[in-house]
Amino acid sequence: MEKLPRLPVSEVLPSLGAALHAGTRAVLSAPPGAGKTTLVPLFLLDAAWRGDGKIILLEPRRLAARAAAGRMAELLGEKVGETVGYRMRLDNRVSAKTRIEVVTEGVFARMILDDPELSGVAAVLFDEFHERSLDADFGLALALDVQAALRDDLRLLVMSATLDVERVSALLDNPPAILSEGRSFPVDVRYQDRPAGERIEDGMARAIMEAHRGESGSILAFLPGQAEITRTAERLEGRFGAETTVVPLYGNLSQKEQDAAIRPAPAGTRKIVLATSIAETSITIDGVRIVIDSGLQRLPVFEAATGITRLETVRVSRASADQRAGRAGRTEPGIAIRLWHAGQTAALPAFTPPQILSSDLSSFMLDLAHWGVSDPADLRLVDQPPAAAVEEARSLLHLLGALDEAGALTPAGKRIRELALPPRLAAMILHAANEGQQAAAARLAVLLTEQGLGGSAVDIEERLRRFANERGERAEAAKRLAQRMADGFGKAASPAASTPGALLLHAFPDRVALQRGGRGRFVMANGRGGELPETERLAGAEMIVVADLTGQAGRQRILAAAEIDRATVEAELAEKIVREDQCVFDRTSRQVRARRVVRLGAMIIEETPLPRPGGPKAAQALADGVRQLGLQVLPFSREAAQLRDRIGFLHRSIGTPWPDTSDDALLARLDDWFAPFQEAARGIDDISPGRLQEGLLALVPYDVQRDLARLAPTHFEAPTGQRHPIRYDGEEPVLAIRVQELFGLKQHPAVAGGRLPLLLELQSPAHRPIQTTRDLPGFWAGSWRDVRADMRGRYPKHPWPEDPAGAMPTTRAKPRGT
C-alpha cells in the first residue's frame, strides 16, 4: 500500500479488501480518474485469500489492456510479463511469474469455457463493465455458474466508472457495493452547439482550433469513426506549428501507432489526439486537459431479419459523455467542450445499449452449446437476448453443420468453436482443410476479422495481395496467428490453390450473389439484394460471394466480396443446388407462368420457360398472385359478396364455427378456399366468380351449412309477400323497406334465430329515408304520429292509418276498388 500512488480509489481499498475477505462478490463504482483499473489489482495481490492464485483483470479493448498492464508493471518497477502480464488475440506477454493477467473480454470467455474450474485463478475483476459488451455479460454469467457449482472460493468483482449498480448488484445477489467519490481534478464542462447541417468534421476542426488558441495543454477529441477522424485531420493539416502534432487513435491502427497516440507529448510541445470511443475508458493520455466531444459514437447493430450487422452512428449515452469528460481531469484541472446544446444532455440515454440486445449471437450460441446450455434464459444474464436473434443464430449454426437437430454440438461444431473465429469463417477453414487449403483459408479468415489489414477495398483478392506485402507489426502478428490456425490441421499437401471466392462459399453459402438488374446490382441466395458502385471491378462480375455488407433491408451496400464462377458454385455447393419445375405468378401480365429452374436458395441461377401450366401448382401460383395484388382483384359476384358478408356477420355475432371472412383472414386461407376451386384458371382474368362462391361456402363446416339460410337469410319477406335483400356488410344487418309494407307487423324483424334485430331503414313511397329503428312496435306507438302527419302532407293519395300495427300492408297508393 505504501508503494502505490494516492488516488481517489485509495480511500475505499480497505473497504473493498474487507468485502472480499468476508465474501466472494463485490461491486465497485468509481468515477474516471479514480485509479481503480491499476490500483485495485495491485492492492489485491496482498490479500490472504489469494494464496498463489492469479488475478484476472478483464478489459474491453486491447489498447486498454496493454496500457493497464504497462502502468501496473511500471508501479512495481518491473517489465510487462513479470508480475503483471497481458493476454489478447494477437499478443501475449505472460510468464511463470505472472500473477496479474490483464485479458480482453473475449479471451476470458474462452479461458473459462476451456477450463471451467479456472485452475490457478483466485479472482476475476470485470473492469469497465458499464460498456456491457456481449463477451463481458457472457463471461460474468459463466463465472457465476463456475462459482456456484465448482469454485465457491473464487472472488468476483465488477468495476465501472458509470454503472447501473442496482441491476448488477441484483444479478450478484446484492453483495457489498462500494462507491469511490470524486475525480482527481475538477473539469469545467462547456457547451458549443453545432449549427444544423454542419458536418461533424467541420464543427470539430473549428472547436479544436479555438481551444488550441485559447487554452493550454493537449487536446483529446472524440469522433464517431475512422472516416471522421481522417477528414478532421485533413482540415487541421497545416493549421499548427511544429510544436503541435495531430495523431489519430482508433482500433485499426497498429500497436505502435496506438501506443504513440497515448504517449505524453515531448516537453514544450502539445498533442491533438483524434479518437473514437477506444479512448473513453481505462487509459490516461498524459498532458491532456482539454476534451472535445462530438457526442456521437458508432455502434454495431445486428438485424436478424437480414442476417447482417451494420454500423449505426448514434448519440452517446450520459454515462459515456461523463466518461469522456473525465478524461480531461486525469492529471490536472481540465475543460470538456461538448458540441451540442446543454439542454440536449438530459435527453441522452442513461447508458449505452448492451451489445447482447443488438449483436450477431452465432458465436455466443455456439459457446452456449459447448457449455451444455441450449437456452440463454438458463444463464444469469443482466439482459436476455432477443428471441429473433437467437433463432437466427441457431439457423446459421445448423446451416454450417455446427449443431445437430437437438441443438447439441456436432463433431464439426466442436472444431469450429476451437478456432476462436466467427462460426462462418471457422467453418470455412474446416472445409478448406479437407482440401489441403487450410493455410489460405486461415489467412483469409484473419484478414476479414482484423479490420484494416490489406486496406479497405471491396475486392477481397486485392486485399489479400496487399496483406501479403504488408510488413508492419500488426500484419506480421496476424500472419503468425493464421499460420498457427493452419498448423492445427497438420501439414497440408500442395493441391491447386483455391480462389478466395471458392473458399468463402463455405462461410457464406447464403450470400452467393448473381448479377441481376444491371451492373453492380446483385441478388443473393438468401433472397436479398446488394449493390456495388458501378466503378468497382466486381460490379461487372456475373457471380460473387459477399463477405460483408451494410445498410437497411432493400438497400444493402456490399463492403467486401470475391468473384466466383458458376461452375465452382455448382461443384462446391452441389448438395444445396436445386433443379425443379415451378409455377410462378407474373405480376406484370397477371398470368401464371411455368419454368424449369436451377436455384441456390432464393437465387435463380438459370431458368427455361415451359408450356402454359394448369392444375394445383398453377392454382397455388395464382393464389400467390392474389396475395401480392390484394383481395380486391377477385371478381366477386353480387351473390358471392353477399355470401361473404353473411358468413362474416355470423362470425362476428356468434363466433365459432362460423369463419372469419375479413380481407386478412381470407388472404391467410387462400390455400383452403381459393386454390382448390381455381385449378382451371391461368390468370386473374380466368378466375370464376361462381367458383369463388363455392370456395367461400366450403369454409363453413358442412354440418352447419344448412343453418346459414335460417340464421342469416338473404332476404326478408314483407307482410305484402315481397322479398327484400338484407345487407350484412356493416356492423349489423340492415333492411331498407318502404314503411307501408310493414303495416300490420307487430314484432320487430330479426335474424340469427330471432336474437339479433334488423336495423330498419324505413322509406317513403318514393324510397327516400324517413327514419331508422331497431324497435318497430315502439316506433308505431311513438314517433309514427309525427311521421304520419308529414307523410299525409307529402303523399296524400297513400293510406296513412292512425294504427299501423292493425292496418293492411300495401305497396300501392290506394287499396283496390276504391
Does residue 696 carry a pLDDT above 70? Answer: yes
Please report which confidence band the pLDDT of residue 727 belongs to, taking 50, 70 and 90 as the band edges: very high
What average pLDDT does the chain have? 89
Does residue 552 carry a pLDDT above 70? Answer: no
Residue 466 has φ and ψ, to the nearest 5°, of: -70, -40
Nearest to 41 by CA among 93, 101, 81: 101
Does residue 521 carry a pLDDT above 70? Answer: yes
**If DSSP states are collapsed to H, E and C, what string results for 162-177?**
CCCHHHHHHHCCCCCE
The kind and range of the H/E element at 114 are: helix 105-114
566 burial class (0-12, 13-18, 19+ CB within 10 angstroms)?
middle
Nearest to 134 by CA among 168, 162, 155, 105: 105
Helix (H, G, I), strand (E, B) or coil at 357: helix
Please report which confidence band the pLDDT of residue 669 belongs to, taking 50, 70 and 90 as the band edges: very high
Please report which confidence band the pLDDT of residue 378 belongs to, taking 50, 70 and 90 as the band edges: very high
Q: Which pLDDT does position 309 carry in this prediction? A: 72
Please report which confidence band the pLDDT of residue 712 belongs to, taking 50, 70 and 90 as the band edges: very high
Q: Work out the angle between the directed axes of helices 423-434 and 362-371 (0-180°, nearest 10).
A: 80
Buried b (16+ CB within 10 A) or exposed e, 66-76: bbbbbbbbeeb
Please report which confidence band the pLDDT of residue 262 belongs to, taking 50, 70 and 90 as the band edges: confident
pLDDT digits (tens, 9 = 90+) for 444-485: 999 998 888 888 899 999 999 999 999 888 888 889 989 989
Under 8 Å between Cβ of 544 and 501? yes
Does residue 370 carry a pLDDT above 90? Answer: yes
If you average pLDDT over residues 551-557, what whole number do you get?
A: 72
Q: Which pLDDT does position 282 carry in this prediction? A: 63
767's CB contacts (< 8 A; 6+ apart) are 738
Domain membership of residue 598 (yes or no) is no
pLDDT digits (tens, 9 = 90+) for 730-773: 888 999 999 999 999 999 999 988 888 999 999 999 899 999 99
Which is higher by pLDDT, 279 or 770? 770
Q: Which pLDDT does position 494 carry in this prediction? A: 57
If you average pLDDT over residues 278-306, what whole number do you get?
A: 81
Domain membership of residue 208 (yes or no) is yes
Does residue 229 carry a pLDDT above 90? Answer: yes
Domain membership of residue 19 (yes or no) is yes
Do residues 18 and 128 both lie within one domain? Answer: yes
If you average pLDDT over residues 427-431, what whole number do you get?
A: 93
Can you tell me the distance from the alpha carbon of 730 to that of 428, in angstroms, rounded to the nearest whole number? 60
Do residues 159 and 211 both lie within one domain? Answer: no
pLDDT digits (tens, 9 = 90+) for 89-142: 778 899 999 999 999 988 998 899 989 999 999 999 999 888 888 999 999 999
- Specify the number of domains making up the chain: 4
Do residues 718 and 763 both lie within one domain? Answer: yes
Do residues 703 and 735 both lie within one domain? Answer: no
* E strand segments, 627-785: 715-717, 723-727, 734-738, 750-751, 756-757, 759-763, 769-773
Do residues 736 and 686 both lie within one domain? Answer: no
Nearest to 153 by CA among 53, 58, 46: 53
* E strand segments, 552-675: 557-563, 577-586, 591-600, 603-610
Residue 716 bridge partners (DSSP):
724
Q: Which pLDDT does position 43 carry in this prediction? A: 95
Domain membership of residue 705 (yes or no) is yes
Helices (H), 239-313: 255-262
Can you tell me the distance from the alpha carbon of 330 to that of 38, in angstroms, rounded to the nearest whole number? 14
CA distances from 738 to 148, 310, 741, 766, 811 (A): 83, 67, 6, 8, 8
Under 8 Å between Cβ of 10 and 157? no
Q: Which pLDDT does position 127 carry in this prediction? A: 92
Domain membership of residue 164 (yes or no) is yes
Does residue 350 carry a pLDDT above 70? Answer: yes
Can you tell me the distance from the alpha carbon of 544 to that of 530, in angstroms, rounded to the nearest whole number? 11
Please report which confidence band the pLDDT of residue 267 belongs to, taking 50, 70 and 90 as the band edges: confident
CA dihedral 173, 176, 180, 181 (to 10 degrees): 90
Do residues 45 and 164 both lie within one domain? Answer: yes
Can you tell me the distance from the alpha carbon of 439 to that of 433, in angstroms, rounded to the nearest whole number? 8
Can you tell me the distance from the alpha carbon of 678 to that of 689, in angstroms, rounded to the nearest whole number? 10
Residue showing cell 471457422: 426
Do residues 204 and 135 both lie within one domain? Answer: no
| Amino acid symbol at 287 | G
Residue 250 has φ and ψ, to the nearest 5°, of: -150, 170
Q: HSE on the CB side for 320, CA within 13 Å? A: 27
Nearest to 256 by CA among 59, 62, 463, 480: 62
Can you tell me the distance from the alpha carbon of 271 to that of 454, in angstroms, rounded to the nearest whole number? 29
Do residues 137 and 230 both lie within one domain? Answer: no
Can you tell me the distance from the alpha carbon of 171 to that of 525, in angstroms, rounded to the nearest whole number? 42
Can you tell me the distance from the alpha carbon of 621 to that of 606, in angstroms, rounded to the nearest whole number? 19
Q: Work out the angle between the directed axes of helices 362-371 and 105-114 (0-180°, nearest 10).
A: 30
Helices (H), 183-254: 200-214, 226-236
pLDDT digits (tens, 9 = 90+) for 294-332: 999 988 777 666 666 777 888 999 888 988 888 888 778
Can you tell me the distance from the alpha carbon of 66 to that of 80, in angstroms, rounded to the nearest whole number? 9
Domain membership of residue 489 (yes or no) is no
The percent of residues in the chain predicted with pLDDT above 90, rounded, is 59
Domain membership of residue 539 (yes or no) is no
Residue 147 sits in a domain of what CATH number?
3.40.50.300
Do residues 165 and 209 both lie within one domain? Answer: no
Do residues 174 and 135 both lie within one domain? Answer: yes
- Cell numbers that stand for 87 in this block: 493476454
Model pTM score: 0.71
Residue showing cell 335483400: 725
Q: Which pLDDT does position 162 carry in this prediction? A: 67
Which is higher by pLDDT, 695 or 452? 695
Do residues 274 and 335 both lie within one domain? Answer: yes
Q: Which pLDDT does position 768 carry in this prediction? A: 92
Q: Which pLDDT does position 304 carry in this prediction? A: 66
Q: Which pLDDT does position 554 carry in this prediction? A: 62
Domain stops at, among 179, 211, 243? 179
Under 8 Å between Cβ of 607 and 597? yes
Domain stops at, among 655, 678, 710? 710
pLDDT digits (tens, 9 = 90+) for 562-603: 999 999 999 999 989 999 888 889 898 999 998 888 999 889
Q: Which pLDDT does position 132 carry in this prediction? A: 86
Does residue 817 carry a pLDDT above 70? Answer: no
CA distances from 292 to 203, 206, 234 (A): 11, 11, 17
Can you tell me the distance from the alpha carbon of 456 to that of 476, in angstroms, rounded to the nearest whole number? 18
Domain membership of residue 740 (yes or no) is yes
Long-range contacts of 575-581 (CB under 8 A, 24+ apart): 576/509, 576/600, 576/601, 577/605, 581/610
Lowest-confidence region among 396-405, 699-708, 807-816: 807-816
Residue 410 has φ and ψ, to the nearest 5°, of: -85, 170
Do residues 19 and 57 both lie within one domain? Answer: yes
| Amino acid symbol at 473 | E
Does residue 818 carry a pLDDT above 60? Answer: no
Does residue 275 carry a pLDDT above 70? Answer: yes
Helix (H, G, I), strand (E, B) or coil at 453: coil
Residue-range definition of the domain harbouring residue 734: 713-806
Please report which confidence band the pLDDT of residue 35 belongs to, taking 50, 70 and 90 as the band edges: confident
603 burial class (0-12, 13-18, 19+ CB within 10 angstroms)?
buried
Can you tell me the distance from the alpha carbon of 531 to that of 547, in angstroms, rounded to the nearest whole number? 13
Q: Which pLDDT does position 511 carry in this prediction? A: 92
328's CB contacts (< 8 A; 6+ apart) are 187, 220, 288, 289, 290, 291, 334, 335, 336
Side-by-side strand order, sheet with 177-179 = 91-93, 84-88, 100-104, 54-59, 121-126, 155-160, 25-29, 177-179
- State the sign of the Cα–Cα–Cα–Cα dihedral 790, 792, 798, 803: positive
The percent of residues in the chain predicted with pLDDT above 70, rounded, is 96
- Cell numbers that stand for 515 in this block: 448479377
Domain stops at, among 668, 693, 710? 710
